[in-house]
Amino acid sequence: MKKVSTQTALAAAVKAARAAGKIMRDNWHRPKRVNSAEAHDIKLELDVRCQTLIEKMLRSTFPEIPLLGEEGISGDVTAEYRWVVDPIDGTVNYFFGLPHACVSIALQYQEQSIVGVIFDPFTDELWTAIRGGKTKLNGKTVVVSERAQLKDAIIAIGFSKDKENLDKSMPHTERLARRVKKIRILGSAALELAYVATGRLDAYVERRINLWDVAAGSLLVECSGGEFFAPAVEGKFRYAMCADNGKLRKKLQIGSLLK
Instruction: Read off the amino acid at residue 21.
Output: G
Do strands 67-69 and 81-89 pair parallel, antiparallel, or not at all (unpaired)?
parallel
Sign of the torsion formed by the C-alpha atoms of 46, 87, 2 and 133: positive
pLDDT in tens, 29-63: 988 888 777 655 678 899 999 999 999 999 999 99
Compute CA distances 12 → 59, 80, 109, 257, whole Å: 9, 19, 16, 37
* Helical spans, DSSP H, in 62-188: 91-95, 163-179
Instruction: Read off the amino acid at residue 86.
Output: D
Region 213-241 average pLDDT: 92
Decide if 160 contacts 208 (C-beta within 8 A). Answer: yes
d(CA 91, CA 105): 16
Can you give the pLDDT at residue 39?
56
Instruction: Read off the amino acid at residue 230.
Output: A
d(CA 69, CA 107): 12
Decide if 68 contacts 237 (C-beta within 8 A). Answer: yes
* Helical spans, DSSP H, in the chain: 6-26, 45-61, 91-95, 163-179, 189-198, 211-223, 249-252
Cβ of 83: how many Cβ atoms within 10 Å?
A: 28
d(CA 6, CA 117): 12
Q: Is the pLDDT at 256 greater than 90, yes or no?
A: no
Compute CA distances 76 → 3, 8, 68, 91, whole Å: 17, 22, 9, 26
Do strands 238-244 and 102-109 pair parallel, antiparallel, or not at all (unpaired)?
unpaired
Q: Is the pLDDT at 210 greater than 90, yes or no?
A: yes
d(CA 89, CA 111): 21
Q: 18 or 237: which carries more pLDDT confidence?
A: 18
pLDDT in tens, 134-189: 999 999 999 999 999 999 999 999 877 677 778 888 888 899 999 999 999 999 99
Q: Is the pLDDT at 124 greater than 60, yes or no?
A: yes
Region 224-252 average pLDDT: 91
Can you give the pLDDT at residue 248?
96
Residue 223's pLDDT band (cuts 50, 70, 90): very high
Decide if 239 contacts 214 (C-beta within 8 A). Answer: yes
Instruction: Give backbone dihedrals phi and psi of 217, rounded to 5 degrees, phi first.
Output: -65, -35
Q: Is the pLDDT at 132 greater than 90, yes or no?
A: yes
Q: Is the pLDDT at 208 greater than 80, yes or no?
A: yes
d(CA 64, CA 75): 8
- Domains of the chain as residue ranges with CATH: 6-141 (3.30.540.10), 150-252 (3.40.190.80)
pLDDT in tens, 58-115: 999 999 999 999 999 999 999 999 999 999 999 999 999 999 999 999 999 999 999 9
Residue 75's Cα: distance from chain center in Å?
A: 22
